[in-house]
Each structure stands twice: as structure tokens, then as C-alpha cells.
Amino acid sequence: MKRRNYDIVLYGATGFVGSRAAQYLAAHPQRNAFTWAIAGRDRAKLEALQRQLGGGAAVGVLVADSSDTDAVDAMTAQTRVLINTAGPFALYGDAIVDAGVRMKTHYVDITGETVWVRSLVDRHHGRAAADGTRIIPCCGFDSVPSDIGSYLIAREMRRTLGVPCRHVKAYFQMYGGFNGGTLASNIHRHESGAVEVGRDPFLLNPADGHTRDEIARNRDPVGVRYDGDIGTWVGPFIMGPINTRVVRRSAALFDQWKEPYGPDFEYQEYTKFDAPAAHIKASLVNGFLSGFEGAMARASTRGLLKKVLPKPGAGPSERTMASGWFTMELLGFAADGRVVRGVIRHQGDPGNRATLKFVCEAGLCLALDADGLPGGPARGGVLTPATGLGDVLVERLKAADVTLEAGVRTDKETRARRAA
């Protein structure tokens, strides 16, 4: 890659998540190791943010509206890595990614819009792979914990047990708030028909040809049930229809590269509910989420929700974000019944604190750690956090106070779980 003015450009920097991502980069321990700029469509807002960040001209300012192809090209040509936080991505992201592929600029974002990601795969995977350009969407809370977590479990199983991984189940618990940008993306998914298209459990896989049995086994969970593997009641996880598609793409790509998780690998995720009254909690939450999705699906009620939900640029209070958290427990199963377990946890709002940390560290992987990335510097394509960043991102997140653990469950624990 030719010498660029910047190592990183942060696009959408004046938005709710983008402005906090800018603050994260400005305060990063490696701040002196990279050059960077903030970018967006409003110069006045960008310059106000630049002053707020301090350092004067040390943080560049680039103006580009996503509808202005020339401006987007000029911005993208100046950087080695572009971090994009400006959604809905299906509305505003095409020109940014298109320019990244043309300019051979690595790219990460925080989208959870899987149908849009499918369009990126169809349009850009071949050229990006040939050029060694890494296009890595879904680097926020959608879907770093899921993708990196399943990657760790599968690799730990081969490392410690010497057997392939047959199945991974993930269980989430979390507290936090929604920002207007996330809600706007969800509204657009319903208005565009993307929700229905996104029901394909193998939407992001490299090729079709899955059997009816495979599709049935990987359908998204519906309703609540008692899960003997975790020992409590579970329900569908709200982001499962996004995260599972990303994990399955990772497994399929690794299989193509002869680095498989395991034959007929399966992945599914749930919301976990603790006693007391776990069944009641699961039923109430599942009922609420089903009602909310039903309201989103109908144009009449969706219009009402637009009036009362946070608008783009708005989000939860600093106090709410500070008190937020998530915990993800993972169970990986070998064909012989042995189990590897893992946990990923973070203190801070999942969608507004963890997300900005994930995407910034993903960008820094590409900017500062290219030689250590999976597949070496030449790997490219429309990738996932696991296939594009792998262990480099794992170590960065550990250094950034994210807990990531994976280990073999003891025989005693396995027998106790089976008995339950």
C-alpha cells in the first residue's frame, strides 16, 4: 500500500457512537503510534469535535458526504484504514465500501445489517481477496463477542483436546440502552424487506446448497425453554439473527482455508435468565420483544414508534452507559461429548461503550498489527472479525479490559451437567 496521509480515518465521527469512538482513539495508549483524522459531512461539527479532542491539527478533519463520490474517493485515498460508524449502512455505506475496495483501503464498521453485508460479499469479496484488502463489517457488539467467542472455543478444543468442535452455544445477559442510529437501522431493515431475507440462517455463507435438515437445525430459536446444558431457562437473543450468520460465515471461510472449526459445525445463541423465577422472566422478556418486533413489522405501528423512539444522534445518558454491561457464556461440544467453556464480559453499555471499543481496536489491528493478522498481510475479502483479525483482536481486547476466557470443562462438571 502506498504511503497515505493517515493511518486511520474515522467516518461518522460526529454521531453518537462516532464521537465517543473519536474520544477513545484520542485517549488511546498507542495514540502516538498512528496518524488519524475525523470525517463526516458537516465541517463545523467536525471542527468543534477536533477542538474538543485537543491536539489541534494532530487530528485531521476531512469533509465528505456519502452521496458525493468524488469527496468519498478523496477521503478514502488518504488513509490506510477507514472506520465507519455512520448508519443505516444500507442507506449510506455503499459509497464508502466501494471506495475502500477501489483504493485498497482496509475497512471496518459497526453494522448489524446482514442483508447489506450479503450485498458486499456479492459485489466485492473477489476483488478485495485478490487485492489483499480487508473489508470487515460487524465489528461492534454485533458481532465481535459472538464471532471471536466461537473462534476461541473451536481453537481451544483443537489445542487442548485434539478434536474438532461440533457445536457452540452462547448465552447472553446484558444491561444497556439503545441509540437512535441503531433503531434507525432496525426501522430501515423492516421498511426495506431485509428482515424477511435475513431469516436465511446461512445468508452470509460463501455458497448455497445447504440441505433442508441443515437449515432446520440452524433456524433461529423461537419461544422459551429449559436448557439442561446451562441449567436454567433461556429464550431467543435479540441479536441472534445477526450474530449467528456472521459466525457461520467465519466457520465456512475457515473451512475453505483448511482451518476448520469442525465438520457440520453449528452455532446458536440465547438469552439466559437466572433464578428466582427464571421461567417467568424469560416469558415476559420474550413476550415484550415479540411485541416490539411485531410493532416494527407493521407500517402503522412503526410510524408511531418513530415518533417516540430516540432519533439518530441521540442515545442513553452517560450514567446509563457507565452502568451497562454484558456477559456471554459459551459452551463448545465435541462429538464425543467433551465440553469447552468460555466467557466474554465487559463493564459498560454493550451497544454504546463496548461497540466503540471493539471497532476502534479492530481498526488499530489493521493499522498497527498487519503482520500478525490471520492469513498474513495478503489475506483479503469481505471478512469477519474472526477471519480478518483473529488472535490479534483477542489480545487487543484483553489489554482494553475485556474479559475473554476459554478452557476445558472438567469430567466432574460434565457429569454433573448431564445428570441435571
pLDDT of residue 302: 76
At residue 1, the pLDDT reads 52
Place of cell 465456512: 252
Closest CA to 152 of 369, 385, 365, 390: 390
Tell me phi and psi for residue 266, to 5 degrees. -125, 150
* Grid cell in block for residue 115: 442483508
Is residue 143 scored above 60 in pLDDT? Answer: yes
Distance CA 73, CA 57 (A): 22
Whether residue 53 is predicted with pLDDT greater than 60 in this model: the reply is yes
340-349 residue pLDDT tens: 999 999 999 9
Residue 248 cell numbers, joined: 457461520
CB 143 within 8 A of CB 249: no
Helix, strand, coil percentages for the chain (3-state, nearest 5): 50, 20, 30
Rounded alpha-carbon distances, angstroms, from residue 380 to 34, 124, 126, 139, 375: 22, 10, 9, 16, 9
Q: Tell me, what's the pLDDT at 140?
A: 97
Checking if the pLDDT of 57 tops 70, the result is no
The band of 25, judged by pLDDT with boundaries at 50, 70 and 90, is very high
Q: Report the pLDDT value the prediction gives residue 418, as an integer from 0 to 100.
A: 44
C-alpha cell at 130: 485478490
Q: What is the pLDDT of residues 201-242, one digit of tens each?
A: 999 999 777 888 998 999 999 999 999 999 999 999 999 999
The answer to whether 388 and 138 are in contact (CB under 8 A) is no
The pLDDT value recorded for residue 112 is 94
* 118, pLDDT greater than 70: yes
Cβ neighbors of 60 (< 8 A, separation 6 or more) are: 5, 6, 9, 35, 36, 37, 38
pLDDT at residue 50 in the model:
95
CA–CA dist 193, 197 (Å, integer): 7
Q: Provide the pLDDT for residue 2.
A: 62
206 with 381: CB under 8 angstroms? Answer: no
151-165, 295-309, 368-382, range with the lowest pLDDT:
295-309
Judged against a pLDDT cut of 60, whether residue 164 lies above it is answered with yes
For residue 33, what is the DSSP state?
G
Q: Extract the runs of DSSP E, i.e. beta strands, from 282-338.
A: 325-334
Quick one: pLDDT at residue 209?
Answer: 78
pLDDT tier, 119 (very low <50, low <70, confident <90, very high otherwise): very high
Of the two residues 416 and 392, the one the predictor is more confident about is: 392
Write down the pLDDT at residue 41. 95
d(CA 420, CA 401): 34
The whole-number pLDDT of residue 277 equals: 97
pLDDT digits over 254-312, tens only? 999 999 999 989 999 999 999 999 999 999 999 988 887 888 778 878 777 777 777 77
